[in-house]
């Protein structure tokens, strides 16, 4: 082999991308995301909202099994919920919570504050549209009747548990959730294959579900579906669904969304940006 051939980089590498390479990749992707045409960005966000909803649907099947213990339900439910982010990352959809990492491109001056916020607003409402579309499909499929109606009961129990906490508690749960979600995205960027990416995201995503933290896009599926049940006579006798109202949904989504922004943008995006900015000096 000649010296020139020896110096050529390997065509394939089994090594994960380094943290510094991940930071550069996320910044470049952040720029591309803000430059997408509105319709493309919105439609990809619709897909992501539905994808996270499918993960939530999968979780609910596990949660509806009363024979499983607490830890088993939470951990197994978290593992299957990971389907949602796997669909988003591998399929290339636009997820609001993951897009909070665009803050790194903004901090580097590659995108403006206006571009970043415009992306967040477009993607947020696209995610909402996708989640609500899935809600309607699931409702009319009578999926909630499975397991003797326990799927529907699980949705109601989940909704009540999400609406009852006070605003500050929901805000903090939102911070912790997107800290883990954006770390999952960060780890997935280290992978060179589909398998790498999926394996990397599973533990952080399953951890936030197991711990009961709050994800605004997942809640766009859980809460409207529970509300739809209350409006169509799908509440079992004796079940207190009084908190599952439109006001209750807003009570959850507003602080959770703000917490998600702080957790993803602040505790992951800005922290890593500061680390590698300091490393360049």
In-domain check, residue 2:
no
Cα gap 50→55, rounded to integer Å: 9
Q: Helix (H, G, I), strand (E, B), or coil: what is residue 191?
A: coil
Q: Are 200 and 238 in contact (CB under 8 A)?
A: no
DSSP 211: T
Q: What is the pLDDT along the chain (281 residues), one digit of tens a residue?
A: 455 544 545 445 667 889 889 999 999 999 999 999 999 999 999 999 999 999 999 999 999 999 999 999 999 999 999 999 999 999 999 999 999 999 999 999 999 999 999 999 999 999 999 999 999 999 999 999 999 999 999 999 999 999 999 999 999 999 999 999 999 999 999 999 999 999 999 999 999 999 999 999 999 999 999 999 999 999 999 999 999 999 999 999 999 999 999 999 999 999 999 998 866 65
Domain ranges, residue 68: 18-279
In-domain check, residue 178:
yes
The residues, any chain, with a CB within 8 Å of residue 58's CB and separated by 6 or more, are: 80, 81, 83
pLDDT at 55: 98
Q: How far is residue 53 CA from its own chain's centroid?
A: 10
- CATH number of domain containing 190: 1.20.1080.10
pLDDT at 1: 46
Each as own residue / partner, the long-range contacts of residues 243-250 (CB below 8 Å, 24 or more positions apart, any chain) are 243/160, 243/163, 243/164, 244/156, 244/159, 244/160, 244/163, 248/163, 248/223, 249/163, 249/219, 249/223, 249/224
pLDDT at 277: 83
DSSP 65: -
In-domain check, residue 47:
yes
In-domain check, residue 169:
yes
Q: Are 256 and 216 in contact (CB under 8 A)?
A: yes
In-domain check, residue 9:
no
In-domain check, residue 101:
yes
In-domain check, residue 12:
no
Q: Compute how many other C-beta atoms are within 10 angstroms of the C-beta atom of residue 28.
A: 13
Q: What angle do CA 195, 219, 120 make, to 5 degrees?
A: 75
Q: Total domain count for the chain? A: 1
In-domain check, residue 4:
no
């Amino acid at each position: 082999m000649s010296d020139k051939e020896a110096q050529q980089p390997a065509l394939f590498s089994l090594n994960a991308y380094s943290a510094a390479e991940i930071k550069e990749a996320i910044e470049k992707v952040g720029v591309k995301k803000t430059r997408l045409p509105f319709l493309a960005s919105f439609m990809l966000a619709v897909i992501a909202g539905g994808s996270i909803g499918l993960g939530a649907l999968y979780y609910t099947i596990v949660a509806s099994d009363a024979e499983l213990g607490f830890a088993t339900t939470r951990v197994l439910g978290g593992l299957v919920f990971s389907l949602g982010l796997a669909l988003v990352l591998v399929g290339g959809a636009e997820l609001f919570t993951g897009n909070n990492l665009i803050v790194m491109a903004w901090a580097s001056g590659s995108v403006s504050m206006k571009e970043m916020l415009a992306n967040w607003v477009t993607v947020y409402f696209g995610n909402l549209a996708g989640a609500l579309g899935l809600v309607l499909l699931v409702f009319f499929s009578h999926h909630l009747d499975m397991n003797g109606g326990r799927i529907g009961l699980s949705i109601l129990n989940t909704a009540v548990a999400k609406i009852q906490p006070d605003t500050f508690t929901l805000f903090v749960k939102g911070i912790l959730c997107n800290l883990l979600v954006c770390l999952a995205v960060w780890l997935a960027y280290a992978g060179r294959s589909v398998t790498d990416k999926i394996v990397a995201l599973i533990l952080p995503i399953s951890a936030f579900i197991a711990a009961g933290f709050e994800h605004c896009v997942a809640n766009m599926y859980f809460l409207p579906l529970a509300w739809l049940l209350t409006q169509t006579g799908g509440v079992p006798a004796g079940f207190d669904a009084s908190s599952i109202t439109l006001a209750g949904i807003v009570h959850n989504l507003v602080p959770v969304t703000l917490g998600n922004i702080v957790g993803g943008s602040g505790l992951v995006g800005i922290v890593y940006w500061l680390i590698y900015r300091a490393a360049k000096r």
